[in-house]
């Protein structure tokens, strides 16, 4: 139910390259929730279940998902003649003034697909498109159609994470991917996450831990280890990923994309060691998500 696809967005800090590692730990469930959806790579990568709820504090991101879910043809029609150019990127970033929700979605989608690493914080939202590494505009309609299909009957909200977790139904499974404890958030995100927010997240999970299952991903830091010493499982995970620069950014250099290692903690409040392989996972065309 609900095929494996890539996220429709590029998203800084997204879990595209860690999808297989994460999905291996996900338990059987009928209600799936992401309080910090972002690019929602895990939702799009795994099988869709009976009930699904994607939430993010970024209202523009959620508005774009709602338009993709409910009005895909209208969004496609507005984007059908677009070209990926610096001039159009500058137009949508600095000149275009949205007058309605569809306008906002058009602007957000265009900038996200053509900005470096999908960074949507306007101060650091720079042109970052390259034909070799980015989804081309002629492929955007197909991306929108398949995303819309998977988003049908999915609850989409822009609420605070505490409200989402407190209101989650008993026995729901939550995949929780907050900003890193040591992240340079002012650069990447429209909404920052302060130290107090990390403590509030820990507290709301602790008070709901007996009735909900969660897999929480975090940077491997002493502060986070100490905060979550009450949780039953803590796994150190590592994966490879490549930062591909665009053609524009590679002018004058022969260097290829640089390989990095992602290192994180998977914090889990259930027995995840013996989970059966619930979801078929194959390698998807990575260029669609970069």
Report pLDDT digits (tens) over 143-166: 999 999 999 999 999 999 999 999
pLDDT at residue number 112: 92
pLDDT at residue number 135: 87
- Cα–Cα distance for residue pair 244/193, rounded to 1 Å: 27
Look at 215 and 20; give whichever has higher pLDDT: 215
Under the banding of pLDDT at 50, 70 and 90, the label for residue 180 is confident
86-143 residue pLDDT tens: 999 999 999 999 999 999 999 999 999 998 766 777 777 778 778 777 889 999 999 9
Which residues have a Cβ under 8 Å from the Cβ of 109 and sit 6 or more positions away? 8, 64, 68, 75, 79, 140
Under the banding of pLDDT at 50, 70 and 90, the label for residue 240 is low
Q: What is the dihedral of CA 216, 219, 223, 226, to 10 degrees?
A: 40
pLDDT at residue number 21: 83
Q: What is the mean pLDDT of the chain?
A: 83
Residue 196 has pLDDT above 50, yes or no: yes
pLDDT at residue number 274: 52
pLDDT at residue number 288: 42
Look at 2 and 204; give whichever has higher pLDDT: 204
pLDDT at residue number 15: 66
Q: Which CATH number fits domain 16-288: 3.40.50.1820, 2.60.120.480, 3.40.50.150, 2.40.70.10?
A: 3.40.50.150
CA 129 to chain centre: 19
Percent residues over pLDDT 90 in the chain: 58
When pLDDT is averaged across residues 17-34 and rounded to a whole number, the result is: 89
Which residues have a Cβ under 8 Å from the Cβ of 223 and sit 6 or more positions away? 181, 198
Look at 204 and 15; give whichever has higher pLDDT: 204
pLDDT at residue number 184: 53
Percent residues over pLDDT 70 in the chain: 78
Residue 260 has pLDDT above 60, yes or no: no
pLDDT at residue number 14: 58
pLDDT at residue number 264: 83
Under the banding of pLDDT at 50, 70 and 90, the label for residue 226 is very high
39-79 residue pLDDT tens: 999 999 999 999 999 999 999 999 999 999 999 999 999 99
pLDDT at residue number 258: 46
């Amino acid at each position: 139910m609900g095929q494996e696809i890539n996220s429709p967005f590029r998203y800084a800090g997204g879990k595209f390259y860690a999808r297989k590692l994460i999905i291996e730990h996900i338990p059987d469930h009928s209600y799936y929730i992401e309080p910090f959806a972002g690019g929602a790579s895990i939702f799009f990568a795994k099988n869709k279940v009976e009930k699904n709820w994607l939430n993010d504090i970024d209202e523009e991101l959620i508005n774009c998902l709602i338009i993709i879910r409910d009005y895909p043809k209208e969004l496609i029609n507005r984007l059908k003649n677009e070209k990926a150019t610096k001039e159009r990127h500058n137009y949508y970033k600095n000149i275009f003034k949205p007058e309605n929700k569809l306008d906002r979605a058009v602007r957000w989608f265009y900038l996200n697909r053509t900005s470096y690493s999908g960074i949507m914080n306007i101060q650091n939202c720079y042109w970052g498109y390259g034909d070799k590494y980015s989804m081309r505009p002629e492929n955007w309609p197909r991306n929108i159609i398949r995303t819309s299909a998977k988003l049908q009957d999915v609850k989409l909200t822009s609420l605070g994470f505490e409200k989402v977790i407190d209101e989650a139904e008993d026995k729901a499974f939550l995949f929780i991917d907050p900003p890193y404890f040591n992240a340079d958030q002012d650069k990447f995100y429209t909404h920052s996450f302060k130290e107090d927010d990390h403590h509030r997240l820990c507290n709301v999970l602790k008070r709901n831990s007996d009735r909900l299952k969660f897999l929480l991903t975090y940077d491997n830091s002493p502060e986070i280890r100490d905060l979550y010493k009450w949780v039953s499982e803590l796994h150190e995970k590592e994966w490879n990923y490549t930062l591909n620069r665009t053609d524009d950014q590679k002018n004058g250099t022969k260097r290829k994309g640089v390989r990095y290692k992602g290192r994180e903690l998977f914090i889990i409040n259930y027995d995840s060691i013996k989970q059966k392989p619930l979801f078929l996972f194959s390698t998807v065309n990575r260029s669609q998500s970069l």
